[in-house]
Structure 1
Amino acid sequence: MNAALLSVRGIRKCYGERVALEDVSFDLWPGEVLAVVGESGSGKSTLLDAIAARSAPDAGLVQFRQRDGQLQDVFALGLARQRLLARTDWGFVHQNPADGLRMEVSAGANVGERLMGLGERHYGRLRATAIEWLQRVEIDANRIDDAPRSFSGGMRQRLQIARNLVTQPRLIFMDEPTSGLDVSVQARLLDLLRQLTRQMQLAVVIVTHDLAVARLLAHRMLVMQRGRVVESGLTDQLLDDPQHPYTQLLVSSVLQP
């Protein structure tokens, strides 16, 4: 497809006197991974919430290309259609897996729940699909009846990914998905994410303060400072030859996340 999957124009968001986002615009293409980077407070998570319809911006336009090829203004949809979009064509991977999982039900139920939301009621098919996805995210099928609270942090994050991908979405939002995990667990999760995004041709917007994560996963980057995009471009090009002074500081690790 030669048309953008997601089109974002002129996003603005204020909290009282504080401007959290100012005139943020970009396009995202099918199968493309876009990293939004910047130090804490730069506006990157606020931007993610705005484009994922979790928090309405004060100004601007977010359009998503539907399966019929038409661009749809996300905030012109009613709440019911936004919710349907969020559990079908979209996914959202939280920094804390507990925010994206139902901790009191089994791993299999977490994966199957999104399919049930689309009308699947056959227990055998639900369980078989749940097992397939647990295996795809490297969780032993024998853990299907275990609750997520018995899982490690890395396993919970992988389960959250399976829960999001089971409906074959076209766009995934990720908020610091590797934050708080041990380095070895991070590396395993990043390798899994890279495999899945390529296999499924997923479009992804990933927020991260870790430039190594951006380099490994993302085709393009947006660099944010004080709610504005100060530089954007191909990931390797931006990291190897940053032009904006703020990006140069990030790359040289003078700024701490």
Structure 2
Amino acid sequence: MTSEINDDEPLLRVSGLSKFYGARVGCEDVSFELWPGEVLAVVGESGSGKTTLLNCLATRLIPSSGNVSYRMRDAEMRDIYRLSEAERRFLMRTDWGFVHQNPADGLRMTVSAGANVGERLMAVGERNYGSIRGTATDWLGRVEIAADRVDDEPRAFSGGMRQRLQIARNLVTHPRLVFMDEPTGGLDVSVQARLLDLLRGLVADLGLSAIVVTHDLAVARLLSHRMMVMKDGRVIEHGLTDRVLDDPHAPYTQLLVSSILQV
């Protein structure tokens, strides 16, 4: 890692974040801090507000109120909504990653696997073709895609391979913060298990901070250190993942956990 960040300070600070769509609540009064190397899971049923929150944090949506500050590589805490459009785009291409539930949303489907990974390297100033191709091939190996597929287009890949390619594309620049929106959604159980194992290893190896939105409590337990439970746009429980899942305090969280156990 090339970060100069002080691990004694949060990487992301969220205060009173709300997003309204007219009279409808997307998310309301959400506050938390995310620390370097920490993985936070945001869980809840469909419509709970977790995806709205994620999109606000990733500047894909502008909130109605509240503040989100990010500690830049120079250690300065900046309000992400006051960054220029160019600064935000640069952040998304370099220091941040975003893993979509549908990998087609996070890949260029008509260029090669190697080019998908290489584009991120070019965004951080890499210009040597041989170096870019070598790094791309190495990263394909890290996400269990054979080197001889480097020139294949993602549309020739299975869903699981596309998701692993999207992960490689996001992580190749060693971002410090990765947003993940249902990263195992739509995959069959055996593919999910393999992908989760891969993700957990990469996050730990790279010391990444991540915010993972999921409705799957097993995903939250496997990947995250801390967990927020959302209902109707509000955070109703927040704590260490094992504590929340093993000793849920809020009735809604108890219901979520018991319904999983009864399946």
TM-score tier after normalising by the smaller chain length = over 0.9
One-letter amino acid of the structure 1 residue matched with residue 120 of structure 2: R
1:119, distance to aligned residue in structure 2 (A): 2.1
What's the CA shift string for 1:115-171, capped at 9, x where partnerless?
112222211001000001000000000000000000000000000000000111000
One-letter amino acid of the structure 2 residue matched with residue 24 of structure 1: V
How is 1:4-43 mapped onto 2 (pairs within 5 angstroms)?
4-43=10-49
Which residue number in structure 2 is paired with residue 123 of structure 1? Answer: 129
Unaligned runs of 5+ in 1: none
Match of 2:94 among 82, 88, 97: 88
What's the CA shift string for 1:54-79, capped at 9, x where partnerless?
11101000110011211110000000
TM-score normalised per structure 2:
0.96
Distance (Å, rounded) in 1 between the aligned partners of 2:17 and 2:155: 37
Distance (Å, rounded) in 2 between the aligned partners of 1:18 and 1:101: 32
Which residue number in structure 2 is paired with residue 180 of structure 1? Answer: 186
1:254, distance to aligned residue in structure 2 (A): 7.3
Which residue number in structure 1 is paired with residue 4 of structure 2? Answer: none
Runs of 4+ in 1 over 6 A off after TM superposition: none
Distance (Å, rounded) in 1 between the aligned partners of 2:100 and 2:153: 18
Give SS of 2:259's match: coil
What's the CA shift string for 1:184-234, capped at 9, x where partnerless?
000000000000000000000000000000000100000000000000000
TM-score normalised per structure 1:
0.98
Match of 2:162 among 156, 160, 170: 156
How many pairs are equivalent?
256
How is 1:93-242 mapped onto 2 (pairs within 5 angstroms)?
93-242=99-248
Distance (Å, rounded) in 1 between the aligned partners of 2:125 and 2:199: 27
One-letter amino acid of the structure 2 residue matched with residue 241 of structure 1: D
Give SS of 1:253's match: helix
Give SS of 2:56's match: helix
One-letter amino acid of the structure 2 residue matched with residue 3 of structure 1: E
One-letter amino acid of the structure 2 residue matched with residue 21 of structure 1: C
Distance (Å, rounded) in 2 between the aligned partners of 1:166 and 1:20: 32
Distance (Å, rounded) in 1 between the aligned partners of 2:9 and 2:117: 31
1:255, distance to aligned residue in structure 2 (A): 11
1:74 corresponds to 2:80: yes
Classify 1:181/1:254 alpha carbon distance in 2 versus 1 (closer, same or farther; 3 Å). Answer: closer
One-letter amino acid of the structure 2 residue matched with residue 239 of structure 1: L
Distance (Å, rounded) in 1 between the aligned partners of 2:260 and 2:95: 39
Distance (Å, rounded) in 2 between the aligned partners of 1:175 and 1:250: 19
1:16, distance to aligned residue in structure 2 (A): 1.1
How is 1:39-54 mapped onto 2 (pairs within 5 angstroms)?
39-54=45-60
Give SS of 1:229's match: strand
The RMSD of aligned alpha carbons is: 1.2
Unaligned runs of 5+ in 2: 1-6
Distance (Å, rounded) in 2 between the aligned partners of 1:31 and 1:16: 36
